[in-house]
A and B are shown apart, each in its own frame.
Chain A
Amino acid sequence: MNTDATIFVVDDDASMRKSLLWLLRSAGWRAEAFASAEDFLARPVWPGPGCLILDVRMPHLTGPQLRDQLAAANSSLPIIFLTGHGDVSTGVDAMKKGAVDFLLKPVDDQVLLQNIQLAVERHRAARAHARELHIIRERLARLSGREQEVMEYVIAGCLNKQIADALGIAEKTIKIHRGRVMQKMEANSVADLVHLCQTAGVAPRRAT
């Protein structure tokens, strides 16, 4: 089930690294460990689903700094922060910036593994969503400006005549654009088109 995912551990403490690797492997995860943020960044970007378990206090690049760099690089890899006492403020900050989880050391294995599981699943979902969006956006990119306009009226439920009035062009022309939109968007029905547009965040345009 988890064979496609890899869990990454970044911790400057060798014992902690080793223990986490054992724990992850015992739970059937494939795992890799790094002694510093720099080491992790040196690794080629992991394309598959996974999760990053990150120690907050580290020499040089700290956990949060690594997180920021990854975010800047559009990484979708979910991060679970592991921290000792006294780093609560760091944790809150991490949560705000969208870390999946913030766990206090020492951490119970079940809690950790559950969080990892969740994170990986979420990553997987996010990755799927991103892939769909990517496809839609590719289709949207094929549309011309007029076709984009026409589509925005269509998903708002406007009739061809209404669209023609609004745009000041012939109804017949609208019809042709509508057909091209449906074709380019690979939508079988208006409902399908509405779903795609909703997914891609294309707002409907109402005729006045």
Chain B
Amino acid sequence: MRFSLLLGLLGAMALGSWERHALAATNAPPRRVLILHSFGREYAPFSIMSATFRTELARQSRLPVQFHEASVEMALLNKGENEQAVVAYLQALFAERRLDLIATMGGPATIFLNRHRHEFRPEVPLLATMDARRLVEVGQLTNAVLVPLQLDLLGLVDDILQLRPATTNIFVVLGAGPMERYWAAQAQRDFSPLTNRITFTYWNDLSLDAMCRRGASLPPNSAVLYGNMIIDAAGIPYEHEAALKALHAECSAPLFGVYEHELGLGIIGGRLASMTTWGQRAAKTALRVLDGEPLARIQCPPTIAEPAAYDWRELQRWNIPKDRLPPRSTVLFRQPTNWEEHRWLIITVLLITLLETALIILLVFNLTRRRRAERLLRESEYRLRLAAEAAGAGLWSLNLATNVFWLTTQTRRLFGFPEDQTITLERFLAVVHPDDRDLIHQTLKGALESRGDTSVKYRILRPDATVAWIAARCSLQCGPSGKPESLTGVSTDITEQHRNAEEMRRLQAEAWHADRVARTGVITSSLAHELNQPLAATLTAAQAGLRFMAAQRHDPNDIREILESIVQDAKRAGSVVSGLRAMLRRQTSQREHINLADAVRGIVDLLHTELLTHHVHLSVQCPPDCHVLADKTQIQQVLLNLLMNAIEAVQQLPDGERRIEIAAARDGADTVQVTVSDSGPGIVPEDAAKLFDAFWTTKSQGLGIGLAICRSILESHRGRIWLARSQPGQTTFCFTLPLDPGP
């Protein structure tokens, strides 16, 4: 009571302040509106409605509006005993004041004023706001416009059942004030059709504390309908929100409400009445009244419940599935789910997780694959080793960083290395034949520089002091950066092959040598003459010199000339001897850079006397700049064989017709072709085919290996020989040799 009085005083004080403010805004006479509250400015649900009304009216009015506010709260308490006092208070308060409109906020104020209309400013139009159904309590409103509210109580229960069909208990929260009691009565009436299904319990007689206690242990399938709580049974007035919050905190059943503004404070929701809409309508209607519109013409439709709206949090709390909500309902206060709130974070984390998973899978896959590859590698290595060992080949790898060899057992056996000894490059070089160590060094160097496959044949000294030939082939392995890491190769013992090849070469050389000796033997007498000639000249010249000197009347120029001639002839004799010796020498094949013209001249010189003796005319055409890489003796042997055959061939001809021609010419950029032609009778075609076969001959003397040897010599020089022409008067043999671009 004291509290309410205080509020009333506060309202009066607020009146003053409003007036001042409005006057300051304009010079025009303001409209004066008295707002008559049912329970004071702050009591919900009217507080929302009156605040909207005030604001909207002030905003929409063309003229400034001066508001006066008063409450009839005091009249409502104590069962109407104070009504007259409040009427007197109002009369006193507004006796001298002009009023343009009186607006009552809610049923209690409207009912009070209408009851005392004749006592308090009946000439001032009244804007009455209240629930339409309370009109019956008022009867006729005079000089007034009604802005009605139409609450559908049964609809509230329908909403509860819509969301929680299994609900059997509904606890209705209403305060102990007259308005609440009125509404409790209304509710009981409205809900009566449902009582066979649902037990309604009205908590008008309980204090808020008791309500909370009860609410904390509600039976299953319960719901709490929060109506209004202005004052509880203990007589404690509550601000709307505080009571609602307290109940919300304690109740073990879902909380339903009536007004829209309660949404968000703990009620689940439903078709709620909007105090804001009601307030706006009231303001609009008030403007019409203030603008002087006849009251009879002003009809204001009732404000009904808004379309259903729900508090998402409460729906969640009570596990109410969304499909139970009526169509086109609004869900408010949707709390963003973790997903909504942290969507990008979650997506990012998820992506990272996925990526990581993918990576892990990839790694695992790789690992598996690698293990498989390693296993395959091991198997392939094993097979390779097996194959290599079967072939007598030893595998090895030289680590270039440490200079240490990895060797298979076979390789160790090959080199005579003990099974458990670490083999370094130095230790390996120690078993290499001293003459081949430079070769190995060069080969290693070459392999590192060329980065390709390298092969080398070298000798090693076995522990038992025997020499073995090794053929090695290796390739360089580089790291990802291209740095050489290791040299891997295979080594084979080729001692046996080497011995066989050596033997072959020796036999071939022997055959060639035998042929040379035989050929040279044929021309021995010619050679003796060839040698005799310069010797004779030397002797004669020397003796002439002595005679000149003895005569003591010599010309020193003569002596010098004689001596020069002697020197020249001695050299000539020497060259004949060396030419002969070359032909007779048993030497290993050695390739050197030779001038073809020199080789031809050498053999022509050797055959000089032979040609003379047989009255053969020889012509030679050889360019001076044809160089070949060849064994000179062997090439001369070919020429010797061809020339001797030619000399023999022309013997049947008369003296003047015995002709032989040697001609050499370049054949393309890298080959020289030599032809030896004679004027002999030619070779019959059936013999021509067998010409180069060994041991085939048409002659009574000789082995018949001359041309076979020519062919093998030329083939060993990457050349070839063939019979180019054979007819009476011209037989031509051709052979080719690769040219040596030479030093």
The answer to whether B528 and A106 have CB atoms under 8 Å apart is no
Is A186 located at the chain interface by the 8 A CB criterion?
A: no
A18 neighbours in B (Cβ, 8 Å)? 537, 541, 565
The answer to whether B540 and A23 have CB atoms under 8 Å apart is yes
A87 neighbours in B (Cβ, 8 Å)? 529
Cα A82 to Cα B537 in complex, Å, equals 12
Given known contacts A26-B548, A57-B609, A58-B612, A84 and B529 CB-to-CB distance under 8 angstroms: yes
The answer to whether B532 and A23 have CB atoms under 8 Å apart is no
Cα A111 to Cα B26 in complex, Å, equals 174
Q: How many residues of B contact A (CB 8 A)?
A: 30
Q: CB-defined interface of A50-66 with B at 8 Å, one 1/0 digit per residue?
A: 00000001110000000
Cα A106 to Cα B539 in complex, Å, equals 7
Q: CB-defined interface of B34-75 with A at 8 Å, one 1/0 digit per residue?
A: 000000000000000000000000000000000000000000
Cα A85 to Cα B527 in complex, Å, equals 10
Cα A107 to Cα B615 in complex, Å, equals 25
Chain A nearest CB: distance from B114 CB in Å?
A: 171
Is A109 located at the chain interface by the 8 A CB criterion?
A: yes
Cα A58 to Cα B533 in complex, Å, equals 12
Is B562 located at the chain interface by the 8 A CB criterion?
A: yes
Is A105 located at the chain interface by the 8 A CB criterion?
A: yes
Cα A60 to Cα B529 in complex, Å, equals 18
Given known contacts A16-B533, A106-B535, A106-B536, A22 and B572 CB-to-CB distance under 8 angstroms: no
The answer to whether B544 and A19 have CB atoms under 8 Å apart is yes
Cα A108 to Cα B547 in complex, Å, equals 13
Cα A57 to Cα B528 in complex, Å, equals 13
Given known contacts A26-B551, A86-B528, A13 and B543 CB-to-CB distance under 8 angstroms: no
Is A114 located at the chain interface by the 8 A CB criterion?
A: no
Residue in chain A with minimal CB distance to B542: A19
Chain A nearest CB: distance from B346 CB in Å?
A: 114
Is A15 located at the chain interface by the 8 A CB criterion?
A: yes
A20 neighbours in B (Cβ, 8 Å)? 540
B569 neighbours in A (Cβ, 8 Å)? 15
Cα A25 to Cα B609 in complex, Å, equals 28
Chain A nearest CB: distance from B520 CB in Å?
A: 15
The answer to whether B537 and A16 have CB atoms under 8 Å apart is yes
Is A159 located at the chain interface by the 8 A CB criterion?
A: no
Size bin of chain A's contact surface: 20 to 34
Given known contacts A16-B537, A85-B528, A109 and B612 CB-to-CB distance under 8 angstroms: no
Q: CB-defined interface of B617-635 with A at 8 Å, one 1/0 digit per residue?
A: 1000000000000000000
From A12, A22, A105, A106, give the contact of B562 (CB < 8 A): A22
Is B558 located at the chain interface by the 8 A CB criterion?
A: yes
Q: CB-defined interface of A8-44 with B at 8 Å, one 1/0 digit per residue?
A: 0000110110111011011100000000000000000
Is B84 located at the chain interface by the 8 A CB criterion?
A: no
Among B525, B537, B545, B565, chain A packs the most CB atoms within 10 A around the CB of B537
Chain A nearest CB: distance from B641 CB in Å?
A: 23
From B529, B541, B565, B572, give the contact of A86 (CB < 8 A): B529
A112 neighbours in B (Cβ, 8 Å)? 540
Cα A89 to Cα B538 in complex, Å, equals 25
A105 neighbours in B (Cβ, 8 Å)? 532-533, 535-536
The answer to whether A86 and B536 have CB atoms under 8 Å apart is no
B547 neighbours in A (Cβ, 8 Å)? 23, 26-27, 109
From B525, B535, B543, B572, give the contact of A23 (CB < 8 A): B543
From B540, B609, B613, give the contact of A19 (CB < 8 A): B540
A106 neighbours in B (Cβ, 8 Å)? 532, 535-536, 538-540
Cα A27 to Cα B615 in complex, Å, equals 35
The answer to whether B545 and A22 have CB atoms under 8 Å apart is yes
Cα A43 to Cα B572 in complex, Å, equals 31
Q: CB-defined interface of B130-165 with A at 8 Å, one 1/0 digit per residue?
A: 000000000000000000000000000000000000
Cα A84 to Cα B533 in complex, Å, equals 8
B558 neighbours in A (Cβ, 8 Å)? 22
Cα A87 to Cα B612 in complex, Å, equals 13
From A19, A25, A82, A108, give the contact of B565 (CB < 8 A): A19
Residue in chain A with minimal CB distance to B537: A15
Residue in chain A with minimal CB distance to B547: A26
B528 neighbours in A (Cβ, 8 Å)? 84-86
Cα A181 to Cα B615 in complex, Å, equals 57
B525 neighbours in A (Cβ, 8 Å)? 85-86
Cα A18 to Cα B536 in complex, Å, equals 12
From A58, A82, A109, give the contact of B544 (CB < 8 A): A109
Given known contacts A57-B609, A86-B525, A22 and B533 CB-to-CB distance under 8 angstroms: no
Cα A27 to Cα B543 in complex, Å, equals 11
The answer to whether B534 and A15 have CB atoms under 8 Å apart is yes
Cα A182 to Cα B264 in complex, Å, equals 196
Residue in chain B with minimal CB distance to A62: B615
Q: Which of A85-111 contact B (CB under 8 A)?
A: 85-87, 105-109
Chain A nearest CB: distance from B544 CB in Å?
A: 4
From B548, B565, B613, give the contact of A15 (CB < 8 A): B565
Q: Which of B526-577 contact A (CB under 8 A)?
A: 528-529, 532-541, 543-545, 547-548, 551, 558, 562, 565, 568-569, 572
Cα A109 to Cα B548 in complex, Å, equals 13
Q: Which of B601-619 contact A (CB under 8 A)?
A: 609, 612-613, 615, 617
The answer to whether B537 and A59 have CB atoms under 8 Å apart is no
B551 neighbours in A (Cβ, 8 Å)? 26
Given known contacts A22-B558, A23-B547, A26-B548, A16 and B532 CB-to-CB distance under 8 angstroms: no
The answer to whether A19 and B548 have CB atoms under 8 Å apart is no
The answer to whether B532 and A85 have CB atoms under 8 Å apart is yes
The answer to whether B540 and A16 have CB atoms under 8 Å apart is yes
A108 neighbours in B (Cβ, 8 Å)? 539, 543
Cα A15 to Cα B570 in complex, Å, equals 11
B545 neighbours in A (Cβ, 8 Å)? 22, 26
Cα A140 to Cα B569 in complex, Å, equals 57
Cα A16 to Cα B534 in complex, Å, equals 7
The answer to whether B544 and A23 have CB atoms under 8 Å apart is yes
Given known contacts A57-B609, A57-B613, A22 and B529 CB-to-CB distance under 8 angstroms: no
Given known contacts A23-B544, A27-B547, A13 and B537 CB-to-CB distance under 8 angstroms: yes
A13 neighbours in B (Cβ, 8 Å)? 533, 537
The answer to whether A59 and B533 have CB atoms under 8 Å apart is no
A19 neighbours in B (Cβ, 8 Å)? 536-541, 544, 562, 565
The answer to whether B544 and A22 have CB atoms under 8 Å apart is yes
Residue in chain A with minimal CB distance to B530: A84
Chain A nearest CB: distance from B685 CB in Å?
A: 34
Chain A nearest CB: distance from B532 CB in Å?
A: 4
B544 neighbours in A (Cβ, 8 Å)? 19, 22-23, 25-26, 109
Chain A nearest CB: distance from B720 CB in Å?
A: 34
Among B528, B532, B543, B613, chain A packs the most CB atoms within 10 A around the CB of B543
Chain A nearest CB: distance from B132 CB in Å?
A: 161
Cα A86 to Cα B530 in complex, Å, equals 12
Residue in chain B with minimal CB distance to A28: B551
A12 neighbours in B (Cβ, 8 Å)? 612
The answer to whether B536 and A16 have CB atoms under 8 Å apart is yes
Chain A nearest CB: distance from B528 CB in Å?
A: 5
The answer to whether B541 and A15 have CB atoms under 8 Å apart is yes
Given known contacts A15-B568, A57-B612, A85-B525, A22 and B532 CB-to-CB distance under 8 angstroms: no
A27 neighbours in B (Cβ, 8 Å)? 547
Residue in chain A with minimal CB distance to B529: A84
A15-B537, A86-B529 known, 10 other contacts, Cβ within 8 Å? A15-B533, A15-B538, A15-B568, A22-B548, A84-B532, A85-B528, A86-B528, A105-B533, A105-B536, A106-B539
Q: Which 6 pairs from chain A and chain B are nearest by CB?
A: A22-B544, A26-B547, A105-B536, A106-B536, A15-B537, A109-B543
Can you list 17 pairs linking A and B with CB atoms under 8 Å apart? A15-B533, A15-B538, A15-B572, A16-B533, A19-B540, A19-B541, A20-B540, A22-B540, A22-B562, A26-B544, A57-B612, A85-B529, A105-B535, A106-B532, A106-B536, A106-B538, A109-B540
Show the binding face of B for A, using Cβ within 8 Å.
Answer: 525, 528-529, 532-541, 543-545, 547-548, 551, 558, 562, 565, 568-569, 572, 609, 612-613, 615, 617
